[in-house]
Chains A and B, each alone.
Chain A
Amino acid sequence: MTQIATKHPNHPAPDSTGLSEDQWQARLDRIAKDPRMSEDNTTLSRDDAKKFAIPLLGIGVLGLLVTAISAFSVDLRHALGAFEVGVFTALAISIGSLFWVMVFHSLNASWAITLRRQFENIASLVWVPVAMMMVVVGIELSQGGVLLQWIGYTGEEYNHLLKVKSPYLNANFFVIRVLVYAIIWVGIARVLLSWSCKNDETGDRMLGRKARFLSGAGIPLFALSTAFASFDFLMSLDYRFFSTMWGVYYFASCALASASAVAIVATILRRAGKLDGLVTQEHFHDLGKLVFAFVVFWAYVAFSQYFLIWYANIPEETAWYTNRQQHGWQWLFVVMTMGHFGIPFLLLIWRKTKRRTMLLCGMSVYMMIMVILDMVWIIRPMVYMNTPKADPGLAMIWLDIAGIVGVLGIFAGLVALRISKSPLLPLKDPMLHESLKHKNYV
């Protein structure tokens, strides 16, 4: 007699909860009855979002107009440099958020679930900095190399380094690489957001499992694409320079900027009376720990890179630092050591700074400014390098501010609009009940 194995109706589903369908439905009902999950508390209306979005978009468009006009009338290199500072800050915020979403999925992090939708929202807007990156690529290619001088190298005049590096640093391969980065970032971010939003309606637990699988594959892709994008756009501003730490250096800014950005977004939502009891002091505490961790991580990476280059004293490497320690940019070195590491380290190490929402929000705004200054430190001194013009320094700061504010204003405005499109947290996530009672015991 043969026995046929049939699935028991109460057989637990192979997702992270290990619950049968009945138990899962009971849990969903229990969460839906929770007074904190009321519609008013978990959604942001379109009109409220527009109150934030319209001024931000207005400032953004104004800033970009000023940058575009001065690109024609004042200086193309300077305008493009200012624009790139904004683009790479916005890119750091959005792909950093993508990184956190994938980390939360792959580690099954339950504490972050009430915050995860904000990370997903920001990550799904990665198309904004990517589109602006395409504009940068277009300008560079049509002008035959503006800031990226290697694009204009044709091989007529002998340049050993450019010749040796030309299999990687050439226009065709550059365009292919940028397209690959765009597909990876935009693709993963859109898919993860759409699965998360679909889960809000259907409550299908397998979507979380799928997202975990995609995140596992996505993290190595993210690591490679971020590192190579930072090589292509930032490291090759000086084609002589090379640093194996460069990708990690930019990644540190990504993780830091996105954790700070979500701390700011969550604080604004809490001040607007949303997510009451859903995002609590405990979630802010953990977000603060992430910000603190990446302040230290950034300093560790930045110093490792600087220290080895300083010690080895090889001309093509040290030139990167010597160029930045003269021509009126010396003060940024002090800002980077003390402002980006020293002061926030001493402030964020206190438990109270991380647990008080407004203090953490203030620190996050400060860290965002530091990330922007880090991008200025990377890009801005290269603008007048190897050109006949003398660097005007802070005399032309209005153009730098216009470029940065233009990009970040548009990005922030679109984030505000995006937040109102879906519920403020994944309503039917399998582990949501754990995030609701999350508490730090240390």
Chain B
Amino acid sequence: MDMKKLIDDAKTFGADYFPMFLRKPAPKFVTESGNPVFGIVAEFDETPKVFKAAKKVRDAGYSKWDVHTPFPIHDMEEAMGIKTTKLPLMAGGAAVTGLCIAILLQWGTTDWLYPTVVQGKPFEAWQPFVPVMFELAVLFTAFMCIFGMLALNGLPRFHHPLFSHERFYRVGNDRFFIAIEATDPNFDPEKTKKLLEDIGGTDITLIEDVN
């Protein structure tokens, strides 16, 4: 694990939400006007074209990039080489946490700290604890699913640099876009532009990250 990279990632993530406290790490690439480079975007006009292009970008070894389409395209995650999400494991951890909290809260209070007789049932009865154990496990899992999902995909966000690109608005209608970000370790202004040209992209544009 690279701690420095993790901290940098956290700063980049947090800077979107708390620009008054956190500054993004110094950008690797800047434009002539001094603004940091967000990345390079290329436009496609047909689904099969963008699908084949995505496979080529994946094979070129890029990791920080995205495909924007007007509708979901089946098998796109495979074509982009996106790995299975870690969310199920996180949700499982949350379920175990909820279960333990429920056991501690109920057993700890009614049997250990302050033994209480309820309806003449024995102290060591486990049956009444089960519904609360189930509910708390489900509650924690549901919270982890929602907030873990938001943390992993970086939503909600108020602005995205691609919105400064006028043509990008056609992504809601009839155009497909591939955007490769400048934070990608393989990013190189010339080579990346060349790659996007080779795979059939048109209107290749450099996008500035202006806040």
Instruction: Assess whether A310 is in contact with B127, with CB atoms less than 8 Å apart.
Output: yes
Q: Which of B124-140 contact A (CB under 8 A)?
A: 127-128, 130-131
Q: Closest CB-CB distance, B38 to chain A, in whole Å? A: 29
Q: Is A307's CB under 8 angstroms from B127's CB?
A: yes
**A307 and B74 within 8 A (CB):** no
CB under 8 Å from chain B, chain A span 396-442: 439, 441
Interface string of B81-116 (1 = CB under 8 A from A): 000000010001000000000000000000000000
Residue A311 interfacial (CB < 8 Å): yes
Contacting A307 at CB < 8 Å: which of B88, B92, B119, B131? B131
Residues of B within 8 A of A307 (CB): 127, 130-131
How far apart sit A36 and B88, CA to CA, in the bound complex (Å)? 35
B128 pairs with A311, CB closer than 8 A: yes
Min C-beta distance of A307 to chain B, whole Å: 6
Residues 279-326 of A at the B interface (beta carbon under 8 Å): 303, 306-307, 310-311
Sorting the interface of chain B by its residue count into under 10, 10 to 19, 20 to 34 or 35 or more gives under 10
Contact B74 A441 (CB under 8 A): yes
B71 to chain A, nearest CB (A): 14
CB of A330 to closest CB in B, whole Å? 15
> How far is B121's CA from A310's CA once the two chains are assembled, in angstroms?
10
Chain A residues, CB < 8 A from B119: 311
Q: Is the CB of A311 within 8 A of B127?
A: yes
Nearest CB in chain B to that of A300: its residue: B134
Residues of A within 8 A of B (CB): 303, 306-307, 310-311, 349, 351, 439, 441
Cα distance A171–B74 when bound, in Å?
Answer: 60
**Given the complex of chains A and B, what is the CA–CA distance between A354 and B74 in angstroms?**
22
How many A-B contacts if CB must be within 8 Å? 13
Cα of A303 to Cα of B131 in the assembled complex, Å = 9
Measured between alpha carbons, how far is A349 from B88 in the docked complex, in Å?
10
CB-CB < 8 A to A351: which residues of B? 88
Closest-by-CB residue of B relative to A346 is B92
Q: Which residues of chain B are within 8 angstroms of A349 by Cβ–Cβ distance? A: 92
Contacts of A303 in B (CB 8 A): 130
Q: Contacts of B92 on A, CB cut-off 8 Å?
A: 349
Residue of A nearest to B88 (CB): A351
Contacts of B88 in A (CB 8 A): 351
Chain B residues lying within 8 Å of A306, measured Cβ to Cβ, are 127
What are 13 A-B residue pairs whose CB atoms fall within 8 Å in the complex? A303-B130, A306-B127, A307-B127, A307-B130, A307-B131, A310-B127, A311-B119, A311-B127, A311-B128, A349-B92, A351-B88, A439-B74, A441-B74
Q: Which A-chain residue is minimally distant from B125 (CB atoms)?
A: A310
Q: Mark B65-90, 1 if CB is under 8 A from A, else 0.
A: 00000000010000000000000100
* Cα of A441 to Cα of B131 in the assembled complex, Å: 32
A303 to B135 alpha-carbon distance, docked (Å)? 14
The answer for the CA separation of A306 and B130 in the assembled complex, in Å, is 11
Q: Which residues of A contact B128 (CB under 8 A)?
A: 311
A246–B88 Cα distance when bound, in Å, is 34
B130 / chain A contacts, CB cutoff of 8 Å: 303, 307
Task: Give Cα A303 to B126, complex, Å.
Answer: 12
Q: Which residue in chain B gives the minimum CB-CB distance to A350?
A: B88
Closest 3 CB pairs of A and B: A310-B127, A307-B127, A303-B130
Cβ–Cβ < 8 Å partners of B131 in chain A: 307
Nearest A residue (CB) for B127: A310
Complex: A439 Cα to B127 Cα, angstroms:
41
Q: Which residues of A contact B127 (CB under 8 A)?
A: 306-307, 310-311
Q: State A349–B120 Cα separation when bound (angstroms).
A: 38
Inter-chain CA distance A303–B133, complex, in Å, is: 13
| Given contact pairs A307-B127, A311-B128, a sample of 4 additional A-B residue pairs in the complex whose CB atoms are under 8 Å apart | A306-B127, A307-B130, A307-B131, A311-B127
**Quick one: closest A residue to B120, CB to CB?**
A313
A204→B91 CA distance, assembly (Å): 48
In angstroms, how far is the closest chain A Cβ from the Cβ of B12?
Answer: 29
**Which residue on chain B has the smallest CB distance to residue A310?**
B127
In the bound assembly, the distance between CA atoms of A351 and B128 in angstroms comes to 32
A307–B131 CA distance with the chains assembled, in angstroms: 9
How far does the Cβ of A281 sit from chain B's closest Cβ, in whole Å?
A: 15
A135 to chain B, nearest CB (A): 39
Interface centre among A349, A439, A441 (most CB of B within 10 A): A441
CA distance A306 to B126 in the complex (A): 12
Bound state CA distance, A307 and B128, in angstroms? 8
Cα–Cα, bound, A441→B74 (Å)? 8
Query: Min CB distance, B81 to chain A, in Å?
Result: 16
Interchain nearest-CB distance for A434 vs B (Å): 13
| A350 to B: closest C-beta gap in Å | 9
Q: How far is the CA of A351 from the CA of B74 in the complex (A)?
A: 20
Report the separation of the CA atoms of residues A349 and B130 in the bound assembly, to the nearest whole angstrom: 20
Point out the residues of chain B lying under 8 angstroms from A439, CB to CB.
74
Contacts of A311 in B (CB 8 A): 119, 127-128
A310 CA to B127 CA in the complex, in Å? 8
Q: Mark B168-199, 1 if CB is under 8 A from A, else 0.
A: 00000000000000000000000000000000
Query: Taking the nearest CB of chain B, how far is it from the CB of A162, in angstroms?
Result: 31
- Chain A proximity of B165: nearest CB distance (Å): 29
